[in-house]
Chains A and B, each alone.
Chain A
């Protein structure tokens, strides 16, 4: 039972890192970015290429995956996304799903369609038994990294000057501009940061989720479920949602494997029926 709880938490944490970038762009910037998974995939491929071709150690690959995806995000934001901010959600959906298909084709062309394998260093492999709980070292590592990241994110958003400027820029761009806040720059940085988080998630997740060119399509649903269930008010919502869904998914597959894949949707429906705006809804509606 406790092993299941542990696996569920680790899986939920992974979902969170993958989805929190989307929580930043979709939740905070109010931009429907279905291409989020493409940035995650980019991070995964950067890690694979660096590790396999250039022998860069795994831990050093993680920040590099973040930076590469963030740089890609910054370029995409400047060239493409910026023009879509004011458009309707439907336009944004069509635009970003188009990007997904282009990313899938591009990854297929450059890297080939075979699944890639990340080879973890030996100190992240293996497993301990503590009081009858089986603890996989890599899953423990995931929990550590993701936990630290969550706290850092929440602090940046709630406590820093940048966080308050961002919130201001999102809630009312015109007034924010009038107050001397450079809304464009803030959006660009935020978008790059969200993409970087996706890249980090892709790098961390490649080991457990696998990595091939269909990655952005395969996991799009999971990102969206996390953000939908979590609501968009803060980082806490998606965090709690990811943990809840991760645990429900793992426990469901363990106890009732026949219903396996369906549990996560059932939880989503139940939450949305009780709280249509997500677990932690924003107070002010826009």
Chain B
């Protein structure tokens, strides 16, 4: 009895002292995660935050002897707020890395601050090609729209689709997608009958879809922000375009995993190309999806979540490689050229462009165990951002 008490006392004393010394010695490395957590793009923020927290929970909060502290800030999707928060995080919190950035203008707003303060800025969502050119300190773990678009253009021209109309939302990523598709598709001998641009705040697709119905193309290429995909597909079906033999193709934003299941069976059979699907059949992804769902019931990881998860991986590995106390330039150097196997497949951060090279998959919406998923059936391997990758 006495014996046991002594051991217990000894153990707890050891634990207390051990803990105490370690806590003193352990310095903090802060990561500032700026995301739209409210407002129209809140789903992006929620997915990335969940994935980043999952990564820290899995890999532990200590890297290279330093404790990682994640500071999540809500920029509500407004560029001026992003800029202000980035400034606060750099000056007051002295963060080692800025991360997040849900939309193109938000990443643009913070870019000059990353350059001035020499702070690496990991873009986990925004997908306009030009983003990485805004600062030599920007690294991207999401994707670029031209990168995701070219494979579907290739797939279309290889599968007997000759005449296409493109319909994109009229803002930078939409125009990126339109250009990338047009260039690739017409080079392969296809014909683009019309390029329709839909206003960002557009209540009704009827007139645009009627033009498509009148022109009778083989396929309609579409890019709309992920939240609008379901509404768009419904109106496409309502107009009877699927029965008229017009195929619906696009980038994976239209069939976002986060919303796919609510869109109903109307969306079955839509073919898209993208870098991530929750149904990607690799052991890494199965483990990722399972852990993500266990930590966040009722949520399915989408392409935003994978950008956040890989972004955290990049930061962790760079801290290990450069040593915990590394400055911004050393961290950035460690990130450039890094390769690993992500749940989405093999990825590389190109040293020259600081953009991500990855597999792009062609997928079809199918029903798996009563749930809708993007099931991959063709792979374009190691696709760089086609605009900067040349």
Contacts and interface: CB of A to CB of B under 8 A. Distances in A.
B207 A113 contact: no
Task: Give the size range of A's interface with the partner.
Answer: 35 or more
A11 interface: yes
A159 to B, nearest CB: 34
Contacts of A257: 196-197, 207-208, 211
A114 B258 contact: yes
Interface string A199-226: 0000000011110101000110010000
A254 B238 CA distance: 17
Contact of B203 (A4, A119, A219): A219
A115 B231 contact: yes
Nearest to A250: B207
Given A134-B213, A250-B207, A257-B208, A114 B202 contact: no
Contacts of B231: 115, 117, 208, 210
Interface in B193-249: 196-199, 201-204, 206-208, 210-211, 213, 227-228, 230-231, 234-235, 237-240
Interface string A1-17: 00110010001000000
B42 interface: yes
Interface residues of B, number: 34
A4 B210 contact: yes
Q: Count chain A CB atoms within 10 A of each CB in B40, B228, B230 and give the residue with the most.
A: B40
B204 A11 contact: yes
By secondary structure, the B interface counts as helix
A113 B238 contact: no
A108 interface: yes
**Most chain A CB within a 10 A radius of its CB, from B39, B207, B211:** B207
A138 interface: yes
Contacts of A207: 234
Contacts of A113: 38-40, 42-43
Given A117-B264, A207-B234, A260-B199, A127 B207 contact: no
A214 B40 contact: yes
B370 to A, nearest CB: 15
Nearest to B200: A261
A136 B207 contact: no
A117 B227 CA distance: 10
A7 B198 CA distance: 17
A217 B344 CA distance: 37
A134 B244 CA distance: 12
A178 B196 CA distance: 61
B284 interface: no
Nearest to B243: A127
Contacts of A219: 203
Given A113-B38, A210-B228, A261 B199 contact: yes
A250 B204 contact: yes
Nearest to A4: B210
Contacts of B43: 113-114
A114 B300 CA distance: 13
B50 interface: no
Prevailing SS type, chain A contact patch: helix
A93 interface: no
Contacts of A249: 204, 207
B206 A115 contact: no
A208 B204 contact: yes
A212 B203 contact: no
A75 interface: no
A207 B210 CA distance: 18
A77 to B, nearest CB: 28
A219 to B, nearest CB: 7
A214 B230 contact: no
A254 B235 CA distance: 15
Q: Give the most central of B197, B206, B262: most A CB within 10 Å.
A: B206
A218 B40 CA distance: 11
Nearest to A114: B43
A253 interface: yes
B222 to A, nearest CB: 15
B213 A7 contact: no
Nearest to A48: B262
A7 B206 CA distance: 7
B161 interface: no
Nearest to A214: B40
A267 interface: no
B284 to A, nearest CB: 27
Contact of A114 (B38, B213, B259): B259
A136 B238 contact: yes
B264 A119 contact: yes
Contact of A253 (B39, B207, B235, B239): B207
Contacts of B237: 125
Contacts of A254: 207-208, 210-211
Contacts of A84: none
A251 interface: yes
A280 B38 CA distance: 42
A250 B206 CA distance: 7
6 contacts: A11-B206, A113-B38, A117-B263, A127-B238, A138-B238, A208-B231
Interface of A: 3-4, 7, 11, 105, 108, 112-117, 119, 125-127, 134, 136, 138, 207-210, 212, 214, 218-219, 222, 249-254, 257-258, 260-261
What are the 5 tightest A-B residue pairs by CB atom distance, in nearest-first order? A113-B42, A253-B207, A261-B199, A254-B207, A7-B206
